[in-house]
Chain A
Amino acid sequence: MHQNRTLTDGGWKSRAVIKKILLSRWTKALLFAACLIPLLNLGWRAWNQDLTANPIEYITHKTGDWTIRFLMITLTVTPLRLLLHEPQLVRFRRMLGLFAFFYASLHFSVWFCLDKFFDFSEMGKDILKRPFITIGMAALLMLIPLAVTSTNGWVRRLGYKRWQRLHRLVYLIALLGVIHYYWLVKSDVRLPLMYGAIWAVLMVPRGVEWLRKRSRSTATVAG
């Protein structure tokens, strides 16, 4: 795959080492553990009664923060893979995406159980009346089919093309997450804008790819 480049022996060797690390079972296990750190941190703080004066708000915000971060990290995998010429990176994408779903579910559960106290009618009213909750809820619901069809079995069942089309829904989900955050804050929009900018940057390679494919197909038609 690197035919056009002249690489020194050392270069090849380090490539091989990186490949070995990426393929190692341990790397995946380590990453899995790392993804649990935010949850462990919350647990540790709860144990030490260090969840600020308003623990429920704190937990809600932290799980929300990590949902949007994991969505952005998941969206980074493909551009990074192309940039570094390391296709093996894709091995981690499913896990990262599932962690986004995991933290989103926690985010929702904390809100529903501790803020709404299992009151379905209150929850329903909020979802209908508050636009930021409406789209947050929509984003969470859209994550469910992606989580369900994240297995190899489902890729086969759907066929890769169709599976890929379905999973592009994550672009919209991440954008809804950004808007959800933007509408939630009172006035300091710096962080939501930052996530919006990250989202836009991550969409650039996708846009380029889409334009390239389109011009190729129109070229074929014209030809």
Chain B
Amino acid sequence: MEGEVLKGHLDMIVLAALAAGPAHGYAVIQEIHRRSGGTFDLPEGTIYPVLHRLEKNGLLSSRWTIADSGRKRRTYTLTRRGRGALADQRAMWERFAGAIGGLFGETRHAAVRSRH
């Protein structure tokens, strides 16, 4: 998918990836890749400033934990505000997708009519 198009929706994508539960940056990237069927293929580092910004805006909280490997890692969790923001964005996206689907449906029907 086009990087610039994707960047406009990164906040929603990252919030959605964290809806299942707390995760660190690498796991968030893996989750986005898995759930999008590999469609969302951004440089992995792109999500870190997004995680930071969402945390600053109170949509995520984070803390340092120790991984099984013994390495320090930052784990992010959706806050109540973050869950609310995700629900709002999901509703908006569904309305938008429905409207675009309707437009394309009309276009397809018009094309079929013109062929007959």
Co-complex (A, B): no
